[in-house]
């Protein structure tokens, strides 16, 4: 780790932890939340977050097979339409400088999520992207095997 962000700025860390806590308190399916966190972390190449969220996902009963193909979810029939909509939104928001949330993407997500769930999903996507950027800056690595 390049520096300890927690001691460098405890107030910022508390704010991030509060944001993170909210993401755990949503009514969204916990397995779906982990899929979203893993997919964003794959895009952002965050080894620490990938290690953590794959482990968390397996503890929730997610199958290793689905995790194995998550990066290629479009080519796999293993994911529900709701999961596919969430994963698509995850990819777009994670790459927001390259893509936009089109009306078509928004309409697809709205088929599966009410307004509160949609905001919760956006918050979860934002939380994991924040953590990915913190770990990229500080060079936090997963524990050694």
Quick: pLDDT tens for 126-135.
999 999 999 9
Query: What's the confidence (pLDDT) of residue 145?
Result: 77
Parse the chain into domains and list their residue ranges. 5-138
Is the distance from CB of 32 to CB of 56 less than 8 angstroms?
A: no
**pTM to 2 decimals?**
0.95
Burial class (CB in 10 A: 0-12, 13-18, 19+), 100: exposed
The two three-digit tokens of residue 143, written as one number: 């524990």
* Concatenated DSSP letters of 56-83: HHHHTT--HHHHHHGGGGGG-SSS-HHH
Average pLDDT in the 101-108 region?
96
Could you give the CA distance from residue 106 to residue 87 in angstroms, rounded to a whole number? 12
Burial class (CB in 10 A: 0-12, 13-18, 19+), 127: buried
Is the distance from CB of 73 to CB of 66 less than 8 angstroms?
A: no
**Architecture of the domain delimited by 5-138:** Up-down Bundle (1.20)
Could you give the CA distance from residue 133 to residue 54 in angstroms, rounded to a whole number? 18
**Chain segment 63-72, per-residue pLDDT in tens:** 999 999 999 9
Query: What's the confidence (pLDDT) of residue 8?
Result: 93
> Which of these, 127, 133, 78, 125, lies nearest to 105 by C-alpha position?
125
**Chain segment 5-38, per-residue pLDDT in tens:** 999 999 999 999 999 999 999 999 999 999 999 9
């Amino acid at each position: 780790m390049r520096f300890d962000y927690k001691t460098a700025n405890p107030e910022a860390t508390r704010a991030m932890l509060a944001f993170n806590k909210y993401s755990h308190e949503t009514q969204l399916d916990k397995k779906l939340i982990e899929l979203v966190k893993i997919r964003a972390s794959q895009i952002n190449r965050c080894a620490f977050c990938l290690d953590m969220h794959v482990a968390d996902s397996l503890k929730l009963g997610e199958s290793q097979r689905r995790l194995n193909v998550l990066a290629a979810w479009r080519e796999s029939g293993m994911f529900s339409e709701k999961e596919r909509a969430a994963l698509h939104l995850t990819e777009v928001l994670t790459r927001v400088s390259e893509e936009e949330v089109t009306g078509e993407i928004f309409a697809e997500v709205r088929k599966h999520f009410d307004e509160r769930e949609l905001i919760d999903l956006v918050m979860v996507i934002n939380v994991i992207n924040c953590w990915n950027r913190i770990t990229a800056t500080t060079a936090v690595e997963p524990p050694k095997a």
